[in-house]
Chain A
Amino acid sequence: MADAKNMVYLALQNNEDARPIIEAIEEDNPHAEINHFPAMVKIDAVGKLIVRRKTVEEKIGREWDPQEIHISLVSLSGNVIEDDDEFGVERDN
């Protein structure tokens, strides 16, 4: 059994909408590991992954609602955290 302690992930489509979100995740989550698959990017981390509204807005130059992530989200693992300023997944065991 692989070491699975508190692993979480977000998987996004590899497209124009998702790219700034992926960049924002990379910037705000230095512990995250970015894995590329055909048509899809899977971001793995231990403990927590956060997408911040502010970081994404800086990248795309317009207002961004964290719920817009639904359009390019492929899958996730972890307990969802969601409010007006961020979207994320976490595990804490």
Chain B
Amino acid sequence: MYALPPGSVPAIVRIVELHFDVLVVGGGIAGCAAALAASAAGRRVGLVRAAPGATALSAGGWTGPLPDRLGAALARAGLPFAPAPAPLPHPAGRLDAHDLAAPSQRAAAPIEDALVCGIVGLAGFPARALARAWGARGAGPAGAATLEAGPVPRGGWSPASLAAYLEREPARLAEALADAVRRASAARAVLPAVLGVERVDDVRAALEAAAGVPVGEALGAPPSLPGWRLERALATALDEAGVTVLPGRVVDRAMEARRVSAVWVRPAPASGAAAEAVAGPPPVESVQIAARSFVLATGKYLAGGIRADDRLLEPALGCPVWIEYLGAMFDEADPLALTHPDHAAEQPLLRAGVRTDDAGRPVDRRGDVVYENVRVAGSVRAGVDAAAPGLGHAAADGWRAGELAAEDA
């Protein structure tokens, strides 16, 4: 039923045994919420994560519910989400309605009285065109300007390098912004989401002090700095809650009766010297981690929680994955049958995932529970479209799975 993915067989197996009450597999918003919930219930929690996934690519808005204690933890980590006063401007030229938003995105709405500011040398944020697109529905922004942030590098700014530069040198942009806001007599300024990699509050404070009006960021497109800040805030929250985070990928699992007793984790390479980088990674060792209950929150295709190479596969725990569509059962990712040319239409392939019972435990085709001590949360579940925004739905799902897993442990 389940085979190790090729290349993942450990060359040297060194058994390092770790024990937890609850082990969460996956470190996106669902996995982090589950870990925080189980930790709040007083359990010893570990979290295995391969890499940042779709959560780190989120745009800075929040759709769906925010569990109270998760919101409090994010606020303590410096990222308080609060209701968005109006639809938020997206650099693709549309206004996105979100329930909540991070402070710097919240300050960008409403767009009607704002000055839209591009930055010289930064591609992907044409201020004049965006001001027209965002104003198409309503009164329209107060105007558009393109500001100088500093000496433009030879290849232009990328969002990340501009953000890193602004954390050091916000003065020149602040001066240009103050001048532009005064001339346009705007009530707020909207800039691209590049106001600092993580110290966005400092950069915004410097700009607001100079301009005298609220300064906000548009939503982020990948590589999204708002998504990265959420990622860092979640890491801080996990650390504060005493959750042990292990970078690595689950490659196999051990079973007792119908329960998972332990998983094998291939740790991520921590660092390497130049010579090692040329020669390739050293032989892989595996770590065995035992726990009383597990939460599976590995995400979908981007994060590797569901794979559709040959057959549909859930590689971490080997849960059954299949698609039911128009009365037929699909084991394989047949793109002709399972996708629709109209991207807004239903896309069954994007909804593939692990099916669960009412308590979030994985089930097979007969509806029998596969693992009694595993709860499934987030976009690895069937029926959740990984392309649809909805951090809040994943977070609420993960929080509930974490509470149930804590009861199991």
Q: Do A and B bind each other?
A: no
